Amino acid sequence: MDLYLPILGLAVLGAGFAVVTIVTSALVGPKRYNRAKLDSYECGIEPTPQPAGGGRFPVKYYITAMMFIVFDIEIVFLFPWAVAFDSMGIFALVEMVLFIATVFLAYAYVWRRGGLEWD
Amino acid sequence: MIVQALGVRTVDDLSEFGTDPWWLSLIKAVLIFVFLLLLTLFNIWFERRVVARMQHRAGPNKNGPFGLLQSLADAMKLMLKEDIMVKAADRLLYVLAPVISVIMAFLAFAVIPFGPVVDVPFTDRQTPLQLTDLPVGVLFVIAVASVGIYGIVLGGWASGSTYSLLGGMRSTAQVISYEVAMSLALVAVFLYAGSLSTSEIVNAQQRLWYALILLPSFIIFWVSMVGETNRAPFDMPEAEGELVAGYFTEYSSMKFAMFFLAEYINMVTVSAVATTLFLGGWRAPWPLSLWDGANAGYWPVLWFLAKVMMFMFVFVWLRGTLPRVRYDQFMALGWKVLIPVALLWTVAVATIRAMTLDGGLDRRVLVGGALVAVLLFLLLSIVGERAPKEEPEAEEQPFDPFAGGYPVPPMPGQRLPRPEPAGVVPGGAQPDQEDDTARRSATEEGD
Amino acid sequence: MSVVGLLFLLMGAMAVGSALLVVTTARLVHSALWLVVTLGALAGCYLLLGAEFVAWVQILIYVGAVVVLLLFALMLTRAPTGVQTGLTTGNRVVAAATAGVVGLVLVTVVVAGFGGARVSVDEESVGSATSMGDAIFRHWVLPFEVLSVLLLAALVGAIVLSRGRASSGEETP
């Protein structure tokens, strides 16, 4: 645990810095109320009301996040595999190639079905 | 040379870490903190000056020597600006988002090695020039970076504005996509280093930098680190023509400054990671490394900084040179090129390593094979290169400036009709302007 | 009790407390963030138990990827910034009872499976990446390979759900 205490210290420093500067600027800065200033930015016109229940986002974002999870999981297996590779040799290589090939199949399917297109 | 680089290493030895007394750790943490703040101020100035030079301008040169204090002045000015909390915002998360961004930006630097073990001045202690190191150091950096995404996605959402939300979504999708390519590029390094700890990886590069033996990894990492930090030419989240300023559209004053700070620290962080993993970290580059003292004492900090600044210069150079790419092109580059190439390269490296470890393959065969592959590739690229297809000469078509009911620009083959001079008197270029000035002064009097 | 034990209790309490907040908060995005706290506290527990690699993987995968996916899903449907009362279920008692039973089953399984197992936390290398790699690629090969099929199924499912009609007609962007 000794290795983590300095990290905690740095985090506290960073958090302290962020909070102190934000609070200081809130205290030091001017406060001039203006109704239009507190509206969302919309090039100076009245902000368009957000559609209730509608106005959805492209589902591509969802697919991207899904792909990200899958590849992230692959990566967290690749890391210990790479580190322990020297002591295992060919056997580990075959295992990993099988794994990558299966995930690659999914990747190819997503590509084929247009999941990677951002037109 | 490769022989030594491939040598089998021992287990992680992190005994140098975690032994510092609390005051030394505190000093180191404060030093890193101050270093990052100062470097950010410097980098903002550096970027503006270098881009200005590239555009034949002078850049900021008024405040302080060479204008060095310009970014400090900017920060002070931001500090004195009104802190706006927009009406539609989710108040808690709106404040939390920039704080998360900045903390995570600072944290990643905890495991970056600045130099070897040195003597602490005024004491008889010895300490490594690195805040701490973990057996899973690089994983820690990646994990912290992935938590940093929350600053972006929450900042975009909590502002309650359409532009912010769109910018935040875009930026998040971009960062997570390139994080994959980035992490995949690192696997080959771990294969060679046999460790995830940053100091061990630097030690493993004593003979040969990984940038040389793992060049494809290095290139993939470099490209994806530009995408990861939302920098030009991959700065679509901040494409002002489409999204105003992206996820920080609604931010002002110090909260905006925090996002700004986080962006610049992140640039330094990825540069430092690239330096550590591919360019030998704090080790002196070749001609300097012949001098024995180059890798001892406090000198390595200088080499480390020089390498980091080299990456920073390339960041600025890219910004000064390349136009912004389209979002779909960017995502296609990440998902269709970088990731599959990184995966294939990883498998290739592992295959080569497994074969050399087994001793079943002579290194000379390997080098020969690589040479043959390169030659084949060159041959194919020469043979396969066809004469560029002539672009078909578009036939001259009449130009309809209102085709389909909208004003349209001329297509290839169409020519703009010669503009008819409207109200311009040949030889008399001034009247318009005079007219204008007269009108403006008239309105001013009217007020 | 040692410092580590105390911290472990603290982290555990944090995980349980924020998990309760996940299901009671009326704001959708806030409850996603309480989930982040829960998962982070769990990572802290792993860290205190010496499972260093697993702890950071927990942060990377669950905090950095899974909850981001959740947030994306929330924002896909434009989660508003205000309080949503309509989404809270009326069957609090039944929900609590179900959660309690599920928890009991899980605890029983874990205790029955690993009740007698002892791992020395002080040993440095027990949770390192190398020992993880050794364990996965020597002893747990089959689950590892099966996992790739699971990932395949997950991606195919995501595509089929989101692009179900993509092949027949053009989809809206």
* CATH number of A54's domain: 1.20.58.1610
Give the CA count within 13 Å in the CB-facing half-sphere of B318: 20
Integer Cα distance of C153 and B206 in angstroms:
44
How confident is the model over B326-344, as a mean pLDDT? 87
pLDDT of residue C109: 93
Q: Containing domain of residue B160, as a range?
A: 83-369
Q: State both tokens at C149.
A: 């099929």
B101 touches A16 (CB < 8 A): no
- Contact list in A for residue C80 (CB cut-off 8 A) is 50
C170 pLDDT higher than 50: no
CB within 8 Å: B135 and C56: no
pLDDT for res B446? 44
If one counts every other C-beta atom within 10 angstroms of the C-beta of residue B234, the result is 24
CB B307 within 8 A of CB B113: no
Question: What pLDDT is recorded for position C37?
Answer: 92
Query: In this predicted complex, what is the ipTM?
Result: 0.87
- Pull the structure tokens for residue C65: 């990827």
C-beta of residue A90 within 8 angstroms of C-beta of residue C100: no
Question: What's the number of domains chain A is made of?
Answer: 1
Task: Examine the pLDDT at B82 and tell me if it is beyond 60.
Answer: yes
Q: How many domains does chain B have?
A: 1
Between these two residues, C134 and B218, which has the higher pLDDT value? B218
Any idea which architecture C1-80 has in CATH? Up-down Bundle (1.20)
The reported pLDDT for the residue numbered B311 is 92
C13-18 CB contacts, 8 Å cutoff, 24+ apart? C14/C38, C14/C41, C14/C44, C15/C41, C15/C42, C15/C45
Confidence tier at B6 by pLDDT (50, 70, 90): very low
For chain C, the domains span: 1-80, 128-163
Interface of B with C in 58-87 (CB under 8 A): none
B130, B145 in Cβ contact below 8 A? no
Asked if A53 reaches chain B (Cβ–Cβ under 8 Å), the answer is no
Range of the domain at A67: 5-112
Q: Count of CB atoms within 10 A of residue B83's CB? A: 22
Measured CA angle at A74 (ends A72, A80), to 5 deg: 105
Note the pLDDT of residue B167. 81
φ/ψ (deg, to 5) at B408 = -125, 150
Q: Are B225 and B184 in contact (CB under 8 A)?
A: no
Distance CA B307, CA C76 (A): 42
Distance to chain C for A44, nearest Cα, Å? 22
Quote the pLDDT of residue B91.
Answer: 81
Q: Is residue A31 part of a domain?
A: yes
Q: Quickly count: other Cβ atoms within 10 Å of residue C119's Cβ.
A: 11
Minimum-distance CB partner of C133 among A50, A80, A91:
A80
Q: According to the model, what pLDDT value does residue C35 have?
A: 92
**pLDDT score, position C123:** 63
Question: Percentage of chain B surpassing pLDDT 70?
Answer: 82
Going B69 to B71 to B73 to B76, the CA torsion angle's sign is negative
Query: How distant is the Cα of B329 from the closest Cα of chain C, in angstroms?
Result: 16
Q: What is the pLDDT of residues C102-146, one digit of tens each?
A: 999 999 999 988 887 777 766 666 677 788 888 888 888 888 888
**A119 inside domain:** no
Residues of B within 8 A of C52 (CB-CB) are: 134-136
Read off the pLDDT of residues B164-215 as tens digits, 9 standing for 90 and up: 887 888 888 888 888 899 999 999 898 888 888 888 888 888 878 888 888 8
pLDDT band at C84 (very low <50, low <70, confident <90, very high): low
Where is pLDDT greater, at B345 or B118?
A: B345
Q: What residues are paired with B136 via a beta bridge?
A: none
In this structure, the number of other CB atoms found within 10 A of the CB of residue B324 comes to 16
Partner residue opposite A22 with nearest CB, options B194, B255, B343: B255
